[in-house]
Amino acid sequence: MANPALMDKRISQLETASATERPMTRLGVQKALGIFVVFLLIGGYFGLQQGDAELLSGHTSATMMVSILVAFGLAMLICAKPKLARVVGIAYSLLEGFALGLISAVYNAQYHGIVIDAVGVTVAVALSVWFLYGTGIIKVTAKTTRVISMAVIGAMVFYGLSLLSMLFGGSGFDSSGGVLGIGISLVLAVIAASTFLIDFDRIDKMIAANADAQYDWYGAFGLLVSMVWLYLEILNVLGKARGGGIRR
């Protein structure tokens, strides 16, 4: 998402590195992200092992929801206390990875090989956005940030209304297949991918502000959140393209 962890307001509140301390760097962010991804994959492995072979059972569904809610709580803690990103971020990665593993197991049981495809597409899209940003082909301006932020807010409203619909016995707005369903999921995937632009820009701003090296983990956490969202949307797109989503 357009990460609250990397809001411009928070950048002005970051502690700067003194002359004797290491400042935040792109390489430091990359290393921290790599560590988070390792723990995400570890959690994902156990989630895949726990996932039901055919359907999202009540027990599995409850386990997944608990993991997601606890992970969300940890994410909010990191947003409030950026210095905790290094330790709490690892716990977040494990829990989020576990939930992703459960979801992926359900998709993979119905569409064999879809998880590998989704991971590959996610990495390719993330690298493509990084290339476009790094080469200056796409520049992040104030207008770009506003447009992406508004799109993210719209996506959050959409998710919220869809969740309310399901709570009252209806089907989620994003659960239909066909051209419309795939189109909606593609739009959401594009929004998720575009948040990387804001992430990269704000990380560069933190580096330019001479933020302390501890914020390597804070920047990496923001990228991880965007990566998770993008993966879920790509998984959804591929599932609908192959058969209309998860069979209930």
User: pLDDT, tens digit, for every residue of 169-205?
Assistant: 655 555 556 677 788 889 999 999 999 999 999 999 9
- pLDDT recorded at residue 111: 87
What's the mean pLDDT when you consider all of the chain?
A: 84
Asked if residue 247 has pLDDT above 50, the reply is no
Confidence of residue 65 (pLDDT cuts 50, 70, 90): confident
pTM: 0.85
Q: Does residue 5 lie in a domain region? A: no
Residue 235: closest CA among 172, 188, 173, 171:
188
Q: Which residue has the higher pLDDT, 176 or 142?
A: 142
- pLDDT recorded at residue 8: 54
Confidence of residue 1 (pLDDT cuts 50, 70, 90): very low
CA 128, CA 121: separation in Å to the nearest integer?
10
Q: Which of 79-83, 97-101, 171-175 has the lowest mean pLDDT?
A: 171-175
CA 180, CA 32: separation in Å to the nearest integer?
38
Q: How many helices (H) and strands (E) does the chain have?
A: 8, 0
Which whole number is the average pLDDT over 161-175?
A: 66
Q: Does residue 29 lie in a domain region? A: yes
Q: Tally the domains of the chain.
A: 1
Alpha helix ranges (H) inside 168-208: 178-208
- pLDDT recorded at residue 56: 53
- pLDDT recorded at residue 117: 94
Asked if residue 119 has pLDDT above 60, the reply is yes
φ and ψ at residue 23, rounded to 5 degrees: -85, 165
Give bridge partners of residue 212 from the DSSP assignment: 23
Which whole number is the average pLDDT over 229-240?
A: 92
| Inter-CA distances, 31 with 38, 43, 82, 93, 216, Å | 11, 19, 17, 15, 8
Q: Which of 46-60, 131-145, 175-189, 228-242 has the lowest mean pLDDT?
A: 46-60
Q: Does residue 10 lie in a domain region? A: no
Confidence of residue 5 (pLDDT cuts 50, 70, 90): very low
CA 217, CA 175: separation in Å to the nearest integer?
35
Q: Does residue 177 lie in a domain region? A: yes
**Tokens for 37?**
């991804």
Q: Does residue 7 lie in a domain region? A: no
Asked if residue 124 has pLDDT above 90, the reply is yes
Asked if residue 221 lies in contact with residue 36, where contact means CB atoms within 8 angstroms, the answer is: yes
Confidence of residue 12 (pLDDT cuts 50, 70, 90): low
Which whole number is the average pLDDT over 200-221?
A: 92
Domain residues for the domain of 47 are 23-243
Q: Does residue 110 lie in a domain region? A: yes
In the block, tokens 């956490």 appear at: 221
CB atoms within 10 A of CB 36: 25
Q: Does residue 80 lie in a domain region? A: yes
Distance of CA 199 to the CA centre of its chain: 11
| Inter-CA distances, 106 with 51, 56, 74, 120, 137, Å | 6, 6, 25, 18, 38
CA 14, CA 157: separation in Å to the nearest integer?
30
| Amino acid at position 105, single letter | A
Which whole number is the average pLDDT over 16-33?
A: 84
- Extended strands (E) in the chain: none
Q: Does residue 248 lie in a domain region? A: no
CA 166, CA 154: separation in Å to the nearest integer?
19
Which whole number is the average pLDDT over 6-10?
A: 53
Asked if residue 231 lies in contact with residue 114, where contact means CB atoms within 8 angstroms, the answer is: no
Confidence of residue 218 (pLDDT cuts 50, 70, 90): very high
Asked if residue 59 has pLDDT above 70, the reply is no
- pLDDT recorded at residue 245: 53
Helix/strand/coil percentages in the chain, nearest 5: 75, 0, 20
